[in-house]
Amino acid sequence: MTFLGMPAFPANAAAAVRDSQLRFNLRKATHTIREKRASVVAELPDWARLREAGKQIKDHTLRNLERYLLQMEEAVTAAGGHVHWAADAREANRIVTGLVRETGESDVVKVKSMATQEIGLNEALAEAGITAYETDLAELIVQLGDDWPSHILVPAIHRSRAEIREIFLEKMADWGRPAPEELTDDPRALAEAARRHLRERFLSTKVAISGANFMIAETGTLVVLESEGNGRMCLTLPKTLISVVGIEKLLPTWRDLEVFLQLLPRSSTGERMNPYTSTWTGATEGQEFHLVLLDNGRTRVLADEVGRQALRCIRCSACLNVCPVYERAGGHAYGSVYPGPIGAILTPQLRGMSSPLDASLPYASTLCGACYDVCPVAIDIPEVLVHLRGRAPHPRAERLGMRAAGWVFDRPERLARAERLAGRLRRFVPRRAPGPGPLSAWTETRDLPEIPAESFRDWWTRTDGGTR
């Protein structure tokens, strides 16, 4: 999977909005989950306080990150685990590949994890001759379909049931137990086919790789929340467990976890509680455990006073599900494993804004604020978007235009003259402007407003405020 050299967001999105199947799938899925979330959040009278608590706990942890990270390392080591520090994706991949090699195995099972997607671990393992098998149902669909995830929680959200059935029938056999020939697109039948396919894998594979939703510094415990139970299989059955976790996933204590066990399920799947919560501390008997703590740009994000709030993110995907831009552009348009509003603020911070795609991400939003309203840790995404826009490289023509507009607005006389000029030229404004440029982008789908003969300020002066 590589996003390298992808066109900028507007071009990706322009292609996506024409894809009727994608539009249908996304609309249906996001609206369903959006409504579920809204109803379970409305049940809690203290939601606003929970949200504030979540925000405060994360901020406190981020401010004291070094202390808690060291505490975490000490606790994990004391419990028989091994802790590795990875400054970037390459180092993390090298560590994990080395650890798998040491086991002598060439197959690993994976628990759904964003951090390993972010560093491109599956590809790095493949290069070393190691096959990673995704075990989350949606990740499996993505992997079998040789596709990219398009959503944080439901990576195959862009697929319909019929498409999933076709992928299973066509591809499952290449990866293990084939799908039954009579497979229907009934969700239960699809889940059953996946279950049988995966079950054999769990029983035969000796190495598992996971991420974590939270790490608890006081005891060195890792926490994974999931719906299917496949994660739990991976976490318990194999002999070696390797967890790759972003350093911002820390919580100081178990008491803090209580807040997030309420915030996360309600925000992400719209459930009061998620079906499976697994916790483990160090290595259990007969098992080997490695924790890879991943920076990969996070300390740089932490240094930005406005942007650092993105590190509070608990990857619930509520912001994706309410985002009108995400709903129409789809996750792939964002060219990152982090799509939607959180991707628009996280990707440019983690990767920088030197590629046209990354520089276009802070603009992939109308600043409508729906994301901020639902975010369980109160990340003011519009604020960060505006902040990043201030640092993004601007196209030359736009920069000149904006500078000129600024010059006009600097003095009321200049503005008045510009308005009079527009008023005189109003008959010459075309109904549809030839492209490219902002005027043609506007008039392709919208009429322009009629330019008035007289501006408000000229009317005010001429009539002395309407009194003459």
Query: Using CB under 8 A as the criterion, which residues of the chain lie in contact with other proteins when the complex forms?
Result: 9-10, 13-14, 17, 23, 305, 324-325, 328-329, 362-370, 372-373, 383, 386, 388-392, 394, 398, 402-403, 405-406, 409-412, 415, 418-419, 422, 438, 441-442, 444-449, 451-452, 454-457, 459-461, 465-466
CA distance 454 to 460: 10
Q: Are 359 and 392 in contact (CB under 8 A)?
A: yes
Contact set for ligand SF4, span 210-239 (CB under 6 A)? none
The candidate with the shortest Cα–Cα distance to 267, out of 157, 379, 191, is 379
CA distance 359 to 6: 12
Nearer residue to other proteins within complex by CB, 213 or 360: 360
For the bound state, the minimum distance from the C-beta of residue 386 to other proteins, rounded and expressed in Å, comes to 6
For the bound state, the minimum distance from the C-beta of residue 309 to ligand SF4, rounded and expressed in Å, comes to 9
User: By CB under 6 A, is residue 86 in contact with ligand SF4?
Assistant: no
Tokens 């609309």 belong to which residue? 27
State the binding partner of 223 from ligand SF4, other proteins, none, CB within 5 to 8 A by kind.
none
CA distance 347 to 336: 7
The pairing of beta strand 288-294 with beta strand 214-216: unpaired
Write the DSSP string, 429-458: --SS--SSSHHHHHHTTSPPPPPPSS-HHH
Specify the DSSP element, H or E, that contains 233.
helix 230-236
User: By CB under 6 A, is residue 313 in contact with ligand SF4?
Assistant: yes
Amino acid residing at 327: E
For the bound state, the minimum distance from the C-beta of residue 332 to ligand SF4, rounded and expressed in Å, comes to 17
Q: Which two tokens stand for residue 442?
A: 């506007």
Q: Are 149 and 172 in contact (CB under 8 A)?
A: no
Q: Are 401 and 439 in contact (CB under 8 A)?
A: no
User: By CB under 6 A, is residue 315 in contact with ligand SF4?
Assistant: yes
For the bound state, the minimum distance from the C-beta of residue 376 to ligand SF4, rounded and expressed in Å, comes to 6
Q: Which two tokens stand for residue 330?
A: 């789809």
Angle at alpha carbon of residue 129, lines to 237 and 4, rounded to 5°: 105
State the binding partner of 468 from ligand SF4, other proteins, none, CB within 5 to 8 A by kind.
none
User: By CB under 6 A, is residue 388 in contact with ligand SF4?
Assistant: no
For the bound state, the minimum distance from the C-beta of residue 334 to ligand SF4, rounded and expressed in Å, comes to 13
State the binding partner of 403 from other proteins, ligand SF4, none, CB within 5 to 8 A by kind.
other proteins
The candidate with the shortest Cα–Cα distance to 176, out of 209, 211, 205, is 205
CA distance 201 to 233: 10
User: By CB under 6 A, is residue 343 in contact with ligand SF4?
Assistant: no
Nearer residue to ligand SF4 within complex by CB, 233 or 378: 378
User: By CB under 6 A, is residue 132 in contact with ligand SF4?
Assistant: no
CA distance 88 to 114: 15
User: By CB under 6 A, is residue 377 in contact with ligand SF4?
Assistant: yes
Amino acid residing at 274: N
State the binding partner of 9 from ligand SF4, other proteins, none, CB within 5 to 8 A by kind.
other proteins
For the bound state, the minimum distance from the C-beta of residue 237 to ligand SF4, rounded and expressed in Å, comes to 30
User: By CB under 6 A, is residue 376 in contact with ligand SF4?
Assistant: yes
Nearer residue to other proteins within complex by CB, 225 or 364: 364
Nearer residue to ligand SF4 within complex by CB, 102 or 373: 373
Note the residues at the interface with ligand SF4 (CB under 6 A): 267, 313-319, 342, 374-377, 379
